[in-house]
A and B are shown apart, each in its own frame.
Chain A
Amino acid sequence: DSGVTQTPKHLITATGQRVTLRCSPRSGDLSVYWYQQSLDQGLQFLIHYYNGEERAKGNILERFSAQQFPDLHSELNLSSLELGDSALYFCASSVALAETYEQYFGPGTRLTVT
């Protein structure tokens, strides 16, 4: 158990809908990262927050947004969902700002868009 929690574990929704994925980092970790894992794209970095501030953006669609709250938990919002958004979404946390520190991953949320 990495200490990172993600809810829900599974999510099935229809195209056009909006969902929110939630992540609680390990105690003491200030950095939260979101990744998307799909069969064709592999593991893709989406966004990084550090202590409530956005630090880096990767291949994140404009339909997607995220935030990190004062208690350091983070939410990833996916809207106008398309079939191609079906994937495993991971949250990871790290103690520091830099990506040079190991990241600890949550169990993931499997999103299925029908």
Chain B
Amino acid sequence: AQKVTQAQTEISVVEKEDVTLDCVYETRDTTYYLFWYKQPPSGELVFLIRRNSFDEQNEISGRYSWNFQKSTSSFNFTITASQVVDSAVYFCALTPPNSGNTPLVFGKGTRLSVIA
């Protein structure tokens, strides 16, 4: 069974601080995909990144970066120089590759509050 754990329920930082959101996953599959989604106060879920288990290179997109470590089953997300607009709930998710019969499994989410 797939499981995603986001141990940090809520994080509060001051603007311009760096912040890392943790994501630990469990799966028996050797091939799988990991995702991060952002849910701002307006409510919609916004896709941020998709990473497959064969690609362990870290990814950077502007102030966002992701650290994938297969050895520790973690896919952590770092926001550099946080801004108030980064305030949102962030979800990590996991799925194995298949024919479309296994759903995406989400973590419980981490609520990030960036204070001006």
- Asked if chains A and B come from one complex, the reply is yes
Q: A88-B43, A90-B45 are in contact. Are A102 and B50 (CB under 8 A)?
A: yes
Interface size on A, as a range, is 20 to 34
Bound-complex Cα distance A42 to B108 (A): 6
| Chain B facing A: main interface SS | loop
Interface size on B, as a range, is 20 to 34
A97 to chain B, nearest CB (A): 4
Q: Once the chains bind, are B97 and A42 in contact (CB under 8 Å)? A: no
Query: Which stretch (A15-23, A48-56, A61-69, A73-81) binds chain B?
Result: A48-56
Q: Mark A residues whose CB is within 8 Å of B.
A: 2, 31, 33, 42-43, 45, 48, 50, 55-56, 58, 88, 90, 92, 97-108, 110
Contacts of B91 in A (CB 8 A): 43
Q: Once the chains bind, are A48 and B43 in contact (CB under 8 Å)? A: no
Task: Out of B46, B50, B98, name the residue touching A105 (CB < 8 Å).
Answer: B46
